[in-house]
Amino acid sequence: MFLPQETIRRKRDGQTLSQTEIAQFIAGLTDGSVSEGQAAAFAMAVFFRKLDNAERVALLRAMTGSGTVLDWSREALGGPVLDKHSTGGVGDKVSLLLAPVIAACGGYVPMISGRGLGHTGGTLDKMGAIPGYQGQPDLHRLKGVVRRVGCAIVGATDDIAPADRRLYAIRDVTATVESIDLITASILSKKLAAGLDALVLDVKFGSGAFMPCRDLARELAVVLVRTATQAGLPTRALLTDMDQVLGTSAGNALELRECLAILAGGAADGRLWRVTRALCVEILLLSGLAGTAASAGALVDQALATGAAADRFARMVAVLGGPPDLIERPDRHLPAAPVIVPVPPLRPGVVVAQDARALGLAVVTLGGGRTRPQDTVDPRVGLAGMAAVGTPVGADRPLCFLHAADRAAAEAVVPLIRNAYVIADTAPAAADPVAEQIGG
């Protein structure tokens, strides 16, 4: 007979749980026979006592199996099923570029994404700025879109890892969100449920990241790669810098515009493309779609230069209900803020540092993010044309352009933006945003 309190007691006392005990507990979490209090006690016991590798894999498999696991074997795709996950950051819009690029390179990308919370934005919120776009199709339609187009950027349905949804809500109110063991099961259960052949992880560190400390980010990356691999999902991770905003914009419609411009042939030489390209190279190598880093990079560059990636993105948007000419005419379709204000620096000079977290919170203050899951988001607002580290600024070279719903909201945020920048007379040395590879 399964008694949840006995499983909790054993983990509380530092004992190792069996695969059966973990599976029974997660089954009870899913069907409701495990109470809220018991789930909270379990999360706290794991937080303090931690899990070993075998327990971590057992928890991951149980949470994956709590709902539907996608089977692509009958879809005759003709290529591997691939995905990428990011731990989140300010201006992180990599998914919007990576999914169509990988599709153009022969992969199939069922990218199940989330919404933003706190100072970081969510991929699903960005796609939600597209009028008519149906971001949460049922699983049958998701499979059809991936088969026809090669990629689909959507939100999770209730069928995917339902145990994670309940456990995450409990972690959020019991101060156990930071548990690496529980983070690992949460992230990977949804990816295993997507039926992937390979996964690449973008684990961020710095002021705008979920984990500011690089050592802790590395620890998480190592655990994620090890656990996913032991569960049968080939995985690699890159540690990337989030001490400054990724790209030149933060805010849903503004970030979408930035990506559409790159897909349409705009500049692809900054930190955003560097991180995107590196992740694409890793997933092509891991999946066998390329044999060397050089050939993988050439495939990625070709997908962008020929317009093949843009075509995949346009087709995905159209099939999921959005306008077919979004890339050609973004201004016709994307919402725009009524107030746009340049933000000059407190003094002329060169940007030597950004507080990425503070800039993310400025976007939230404008209404472009949420502090509670039920909050609504204004897709129009945010920051554009942001001066990166090493950029000269002055009276005629603003820190950014602030997009706001009204003048009062803009004026309230200007001091936050100015205080988030450090200006000096000499530019710092350029740093590679891709700091380290984990796995492979």
pLDDT reported for residue 372: 67
95 catalytic? Reply is no
Q: Which CATH class is domain 82-319?
A: alpha beta
Tell me how far apart the alpha carbons of residues 160 and 428 are, in angstroms, rounded to a whole number: 45
Looking at this protein, which amino acid is placed at residue 369? Answer: G
Second-level CATH architecture of 335-424: Alpha-Beta Complex (3.90)
Instruction: Report CA torsion sign: 368, 351, 424, 118.
Output: positive
pLDDT reported for residue 375: 75
pLDDT reported for residue 169: 82
Distance of CA 193 to the CA centre of its chain: 17
pLDDT reported for residue 118: 61
β-partners of residue 201 are 85, 237
171 catalytic? Reply is yes
Instruction: Report CA torsion sign: 193, 198, 203, 208.
Output: negative
pLDDT reported for residue 211: 87
Catalytic residue among 115, 143, 166, 191: 191
165 catalytic? Reply is no
CB 66 within 8 A of CB 24: no
Catalytic residue among 11, 56, 61, 84: 84
391 catalytic? Reply is no
User: Containing H/E element for 340?
Assistant: strand 339-343
Helices (H), 50-161: 53-64, 94-104, 123-127, 139-149
Catalytic residue among 11, 30, 56, 83: 83
CB contact set of 266 (below 8 Å; sequence gap of 6+): none
Cα→Cα distances 337→3, 41, 139, 266, 378, Å: 55, 45, 34, 23, 9
Catalytic residue among 61, 143, 165, 190: 190
Catalytic residue among 7, 64, 120, 123: 123
Catalytic residue among 56, 171, 218, 271: 171
Bridge-based pairing of strands 198-205 and 235-241 is parallel
Tokens of 119: 């100072």
85 catalytic? Reply is yes
CB 270 within 8 A of CB 248: yes
The parts of the chain modelled with pLDDT lower than 50 are: none
Task: Spell out the domain ranges in the chain.
Answer: 4-49, 82-319, 335-424
With CA atoms as reference, report the closest residue to 275 among 241, 252, 306: 241
pLDDT reported for residue 268: 75
83 catalytic? Reply is yes
123 catalytic? Reply is yes
191 catalytic? Reply is yes
CB 400 within 8 A of CB 393: no
215 catalytic? Reply is no
Cα→Cα distances 275→97, 257, 356, Å: 11, 18, 17
Catalytic residue among 30, 66, 86, 207: 86
CB contact set of 298 (below 8 Å; sequence gap of 6+): none
Catalytic residue among 186, 240, 249, 276: 186
Q: Which fold has domain 4-49?
A: 1.20.970
User: Nearest-5° angle of CA 299, CA 301, CA 302?
Assistant: 65
**Beta strand extents in 114-253 (DSSP E only):** 151-155, 198-205, 235-241
